[in-house]
Amino acid sequence: MKKHNFSAGPSILPQEVLLKSSEAIMDYNNTGLSLIEISHRSKEFVEIMENAKSLALDLLGLKDKGYQALFLQGGASGQFLMTAMNLLEKKAGFLNTGAWSTKAIKEAKLFGDIQEVASSADANFNYIPKGYEVASDLDYFHCTSNNTIFGTQIKSFPKTSVPMVCDMSSDIFSRVIDYSQFDILYAGAQKNMGPAGTTLVVVKEDILGKVSRQIPSLLDYKKQIAAGSMFNTPPVFAVYTSMLTLEWLKSKGGVAGIEEENEKKATLMYSEIDLNPLFTGFAAKEDRSNMNATFNLADDSLKDTFDSMLKEAGISAVNGHRSVGGYRASMYNALPLDSVKALVEVMSELEAKA
């Protein structure tokens, strides 16, 4: 049985992408060589890298607007460090909405003063703070657009007079927003783009070169841009698979097209959570994520029965993070609506049995 894969990451990829990438492992583009055997300096891979970067900017609506796309390594965790190293001279502001922003704050404190402009830690991060002010004397403001663990998502970003940096690891390319409001955005590939191993970073070039510190070459955005994301050997398979996924997304109508599908999945999922008395949602309704629906059983005595029914239906990876408990349905771009229907059907069947 083909499983319904709700993994929070690494997560589901389009079937056609898996097929094409697996073929490239054996023979890339009829070269007689595997994709992972060819030089990253070869014409073939340079074309892959340039296409991947161009597609990313195009899909985000940032082409010819002063931005550069990079495919780097180190995940979002590496960017917690790299953004601060490149931008933080004296003081930065952070919106603390969960585990990942907490970790980003910890890394940034190595380079300057950090102002926590608002936090939802008081309610175990089940909501997005609102009504806060972003000071004008900050070097930059950092936020996390979607919180995978807690199932919250920023629906409206603040207007700032300072550069805005956003960790979009779990909802990039999933919804139409004005991406030009961000000066740097970054995302690990393993949710909506490709396999683990590469991180997309989109940088507005005119904010660079303003800190007084010497930046190590590998961590310097300007040097990475000059080297075309190939200052060191890039993760060729992860970049190639990300390129295929971006091509797939473009064929689906781009970000606008996939947003329609994501809205259908989220509406169906949250309707069942709200209407079924056996389940309670974790995140505040107005801040619910379209990517990660977090919910709990109202009666824990039903857990074994529910888990058994999920397994029998071929539904995989819906256990919640230990910080929240319960369940989490991750509904990234590649997850089909039919998988959400299968999960909702099991939840409905549990109600009928209870």
Q: Which residues are catalytic?
A: 100, 167, 191
How many angstroms separate the most distant Cα atoms in the chain?
A: 65
Beta bridge partners of 164: 141
φ, ψ of residue 296 to 5 degrees: the values are -130, 155
Q: Three-class SS of residue 353? A: helix
φ, ψ of residue 73 to 5 degrees: the values are -120, 170
- Compute the Cα dihedral for 84, 89, 90, 92 and give only its sign: negative
φ, ψ of residue 281 to 5 degrees: the values are -75, 150
Provide, for the chain, the percentages of residues in helix, strand and coil under a 3-state DSSP scheme, each rounded to the nearest 5: 40, 15, 40
Q: Which helix (H) or strand (E) holds 43?
A: helix 43-59
Residue 287 to residues 97, 124, 126, 283, Cα–Cα distance (Å): 11, 14, 8, 7
φ, ψ of residue 229 to 5 degrees: the values are 70, 15
Provide the edge-to-edge strand list for the sheet that holds 141-144.
67-72, 199-204, 184-188, 164-167, 141-144, 91-96, 113-119
CA-to-CA distance for 244 and 95, rounded, in angstroms? 33
Which amino acid is located at 327 in the chain? Y
Residue 189 to residues 169, 238, 246, 278, Cα–Cα distance (Å): 7, 8, 11, 35
Query: DSSP H helical segments within 163-302, as ranges?
Result: 221-226, 236-251, 254-275
DSSP state of 288: B
